[in-house]
Amino acid sequence: MLEIVQAGGWLMLPIIACSVVAAAIILERLWTLQEKRVLPKHIIAYVRDWMMHNDLEPEHLQKLHQSSPLGQILAAGLANRHEHRDLVKESIEDSGRHVVHELERYLNSLGTIAAITPLLGLLGTVIGMIKVFAAIMSSGVGNPGVLAGGISEALITTAAGLSVAIPSLMGYRYLRGRVDALVVQMEKEAWKFLETLQHQRAGASYRNEAAEPIKRRA
């Protein structure tokens, strides 16, 4: 392996560095973007229970915000639960934009690696061919060892660049699709939350209106 790296020339160093970074990003995002970490099922049950019992203390909202990306969105809505529906929706959307930005962290870097590593391999190919033609100009075609060295460098860097780019692109596409799917699910949960909050507020308003005549008679 070391001989292959050495034969590929100095361009093998950035290609290897890109492979290490790409592997780290893919592993980190696969861990972070697990559904149970982004959309924990128990969060929804907790929020509904707190809303039903009117037990929304500040420590509950803080715990909810720190629990998961979905918790951040719901906590933003609960913090403004006494405001108008449009303001609650706006706060949820604003929090959602920040959450999506966090979910997409490092994906642009992974996409960049998938795009530049074939170019690095192509650059190695060009450099190797330049060495081949330089050897031909200086000593003719009678030294096959020099020619083979340049051709070998060209082929090795091309193969290395493609070997890094292909899995990086696959990882980028998969993770991008995973983020999109998680965002759709979070939007559904946020909509359900808004509907639940609206029904609760409507029920509370109805109970207050029904209790008002009783108070007057008393």
- pLDDT tens-digit series, residues 39-71: 888 777 777 777 776 666 777 778 888 888 888
Does residue 100 fall inside a structural domain?
yes
Q: What is the mean pLDDT of residues 91-114?
A: 92
Cα 15 to Cα 105: distance, rounded to the nearest angstrom: 22
Residues 6+ apart with CB under 8 A from 185: 35, 39
Q: Is residue 17 part of a domain?
A: yes
Domain count, the chain: 1
Query: 28 lies in which domain range?
Result: 11-122+168-217
**Averaged pLDDT, 71-94:** 81
Q: Residue 141 — pLDDT band, cuts 50, 70, 90?
A: low
Please tell me whether residue 33 adopts helix, strand or coil conformation. Answer: coil
Residue 75 resides in a domain: yes
Q: Is the pLDDT of residue 204 over 70?
A: no
Q: What is the pLDDT of residue 89?
A: 82
Confidence check: pLDDT of 76 > 50: yes
Closest CA to 64 of 56, 73, 75: 75
Residue 183 lies in a domain: yes
- pTM higher than 0.85, yes or no? no
| Position 134 in a domain | no
Q: What is the distance between the alpha carbons of residues 218 and 161, in angstroms, rounded to a whole number?
A: 84
Residue 161 counted as domain residue: no
Q: Give domain status of residue 86, yes or no.
A: yes
pLDDT at residue 24, as a whole number: 96
- pLDDT number for residue 188: 86
